[in-house]
Amino acid sequence: MQTNAVLMRGPREISVESVALDGPAVDDVVVRIDHSGISTGTEKLFWSGRMPNFPGMGYPLVPGYESAGEIVECGALSAMKPGTRVFVPGASCFGPVRGLFGGAAQTLVTGADRVVPIDSTLGPEGALLALAATARHAVAGLNTALPDLIVGHGVMGRLLARLTLAAGGRPPVVWEKEARRRAGDFPYPVLHPDQDEKRDYKAIYDVSGDGEGLNALITRLSKGGEIVLAGFYPEPLSFAFPPAFMKEARLRVAAEWTAQDMLATRLLVESGDLSLDGLVTHTRDAGDAPGAYLTAFEDADCLKMILNWKGSA
């Protein structure tokens, strides 16, 4: 079996090539992918060569963990049905080529227990479920406070803001340095950090990926406030102790989504309580992956780039 896939052979070396595809086991499904998303966090770090040591790292690799498509074949023990539209959080099915995270391909083979059935009416937005579930993971759980300040107005920042409102929270303040990402009509204020003088935020959620801003965020906390690191930070993080001591600051790291987060997020989307509208700003044919990755990583107007695998040769 063969499939077309995005292949990273090294930093800034991206192509679409035919790669070997492992045959399905009895508990696997074969999924024809319609859309896959490009992550401006982890994938950008692989593309730029700045990704810190991570389990499974190495080139060549098939990137991507945001894919949506249709099941075309089911193993005898898979408990799934052909024709079901599903979200796929990547796969490792490319023989000697690393699948990290292995979602940017025209066909995927993966365990049936890893795919998530989704509404058949979802188009490219179906690939956003991983980001939405990751945002939900950051705010869910015991002893967590909804954000009153979100740093970064990309897709993750917008999802966090929408989830806060869906949970009945007060509209959070959002910081964004890029003017083009502040423009628009939002049900919450979007400010440049220099426009905001508030220094008693209880819960600051940082999705910027910029660890150099940590000291500045600590000074904006109320006493006993919390900073949630919900981005991905390639460099070691550090902060000055005296301001953190004075604030009795707390730091929490939010990791990737769990199965419970995915289920809850899917229900929020299907009920209409969480909208994914307006987050996909760019769509390219998968055959133009090199140009699509460049746009996704270097064009501030691009919130989310989706690769369209339908009909891709």
Give the pLDDT band of residue 58 (cuts 50, 70, 90): confident
Residue 9 predicted with pLDDT over 70: yes
Evaluate whether 286 touches 10 at the Cβ level (below 8 Å): no
Residue 51 is predicted with a pLDDT of: 83
pLDDT at 313 over 60: no
Indicate the residue among 206, 222, 253 that finishes a domain. Answer: 253
| 28 and 117 inside one domain | yes
CA 273 to chain centre: 19
Kindly state the DSSP code that residue 195 receives in the 8-state scheme.
G
Q: What is residue 138's three-state secondary structure?
A: helix
Q: How far apart are CA 256 and CA 58, in angstroms?
A: 21
Judge whether 117 lies within some domain: yes
* Cα 153 from Cα 157, distance rounded (Å): 5
Question: Is residue 95 assigned to a domain?
Answer: yes
Name, of 142-146, 234-238, 283-287, the range with top average pLDDT.
Answer: 283-287
pTM as predicted: 0.94
Average pLDDT of the segment spanning 142-156: 94
pLDDT at 98: 82
Q: Residue 233: name the closest of 51, 9, 80, 40 by CA.
A: 51
Residue 27 has a pLDDT of 96
Please give the residue range of the domain that contains residue 60.
2-122+276-308
Q: Are residues 49 and 150 in the same domain?
A: no
What is the model's pLDDT at position 48? 87
Q: What is the CATH number of the domain that holds 82?
A: 3.90.180.10
Per the prediction, the chain carries an average pLDDT of 94
Provide the pLDDT for residue 117: 95
* Token pair for 304: 């989310």
Stretch 48-69: mean pLDDT: 86
Same domain? 96 vs 164: no
Residues 6+ apart with CB under 8 A from 125: 276, 277, 279, 280
Q: Taking residues 7-25, what's their average pLDDT?
A: 94
Percent of the chain, pLDDT > 90? 86
> Is residue 12 in some structural domain?
yes
Does 34 fall in a domain? yes
The answer on pLDDT for 99 being more than 80 is no
Q: How many domains does the chain have?
A: 2
Angle between helices 129-139 and 155-166 (to 10 degrees): 60
For residue 216, the tally of other CB atoms under 10 A from its CB is 13
- How large is the angle between the packed helices 259-271 and 129-139, nearest 10 degrees? 110
Residue 216 domain flag: yes
Q: What's the rounded Cα separation, in Å, for the pair 222 and 243?
A: 11
Average pLDDT over residues 2-7: 96
Q: Does residue 128 form part of some domain?
A: no
Q: Kindly state whether residues 247 and 280 are assigned to the same domain.
A: no
- Supply the pLDDT for residue 223: 97
My answer on whether 204 and 281 are in the same domain is no
Domain containing residue 204: CATH number:
3.40.50.720
Residue 143's pLDDT band (cuts 50, 70, 90): confident
Segment 102-133, tens digit of pLDDT = 999 999 999 999 999 999 889 999 999 999 99
Tokens 């705010």 belong to 139
